Structure 1
Amino acid sequence: MFTLNPQSGIPIYRQLVEQIRRMVAGGQLKAGDELPSVRDLAVEHAVNPMTISKAYSQLELEGILVRQRGKPMQVAAQQHSANSEYARLQHLQPHIEQLVLVAKQLEISDKVLLASLREQLTKK
């Protein structure tokens, strides 16, 4: 369900938080869907259970997940239109900014960058 990469330089809990945010915004996780238990996810990815718990707690504070005693963590009912294309695009914003920065540093023109993006988008 989740892909966690300890060598990425991004803390594991942040990787999990971002993946769950994107999956909820993209509709792969819907209100009421149950998430794996802290223990199961920690064993599956060979990480400390506190790492998973930290991610789940952060998402609970943000209102993305809900905890009910004795039940698995669940995706909360969304209060706003998180599934609009614009809202989903906001999850890409940091990546777009990074791409533009690197392209400028490499002195790649807008025209070439956009052509490359179009090519990637049309690949099957």
Structure 2
Amino acid sequence: MIKIDNNSSKAIYEQIYDEMTRLILSKALKPDEKMPSVRELAAMIKINPNTIQKAYKSLEEYNYIYTVKGKGNFVKNADEIRSVHIKTMEEQLNSTIRSLKELGLEDEEVIRLVKNILNEGNK
């Protein structure tokens, strides 16, 4: 379910956040599905509960999950989240392309870079 790389420079709570967002956006976790409790997840992946709590707090802050008092944490509707996520990624891509253009790259060069990146993902 969740992969943690202890050799990563990324903080463990960020890795948990990233893994959970991946599971939510890929719809592996369904809307309104109950998330494992902080203690359950901490025991499953052998991580301090405070680290899990920090990841869950970030997930809630960015509207990936919601909390029901006394019942736990639940997944928000992935379609809504996904469209916001895609819009954010589109803005980041737009900014990156603008930066490349400001560095003097022609459209064909930018397209070649994008195609190279897409081809790497197919390997």
- Tell me how far 1:14 sits from its aligned partner: 0.5
**Alpha-carbon separation, structure 1, partners of 2:121 and 2:56:** 32
Amino acid of the structure 2 residue aligned with 1:87: I
Aligned residues: 111
Q: 1:122 to 1:14 in 2, by over 3 A?
A: closer
Q: 1:118 to 1:41 in 2, by over 3 A?
A: same
CA contact (8 A) 2:35 2:73 kept: yes
**Alpha-carbon separation, structure 2, partners of 1:66 and 1:114:** 36
Q: Which structure shows the higher helix fraction? A: 2
**Alpha-carbon separation, structure 2, partners of 1:66 and 1:81:** 14
**Alpha-carbon separation, structure 2, partners of 1:75 and 1:111:** 36
- Tell me how far 1:77 sits from its aligned partner: 3.2
The two structures have a TM-score, normalised by structure 2, of 0.65
Residue 102 of structure 1 is matched in structure 2 by none
Stretches of structure 2 lacking an aligned partner (at least 5 in a row): 97-108
Amino acid of the structure 2 residue aligned with 1:19: E
Amino acid of the structure 2 residue aligned with 1:82: I
1:71 has 2:71 as partner: yes
The two structures have a TM-score, normalised by structure 1, of 0.65
Matches within 5 A, 1:23-102: 23-77=23-77, 81-84=80-83, 87=86, 90=89
Stretches of structure 1 lacking an aligned partner (at least 5 in a row): 98-108
**Alpha-carbon separation, structure 2, partners of 1:51 and 1:113:** 37
Residue 105 of structure 1 is matched in structure 2 by none
Percent identity of the aligned residues? 28
Residue 21 of structure 2 is matched in structure 1 by 21
Amino acid of the structure 1 residue aligned with 2:50: M
**Alpha-carbon separation, structure 2, partners of 1:70 and 1:83:** 28
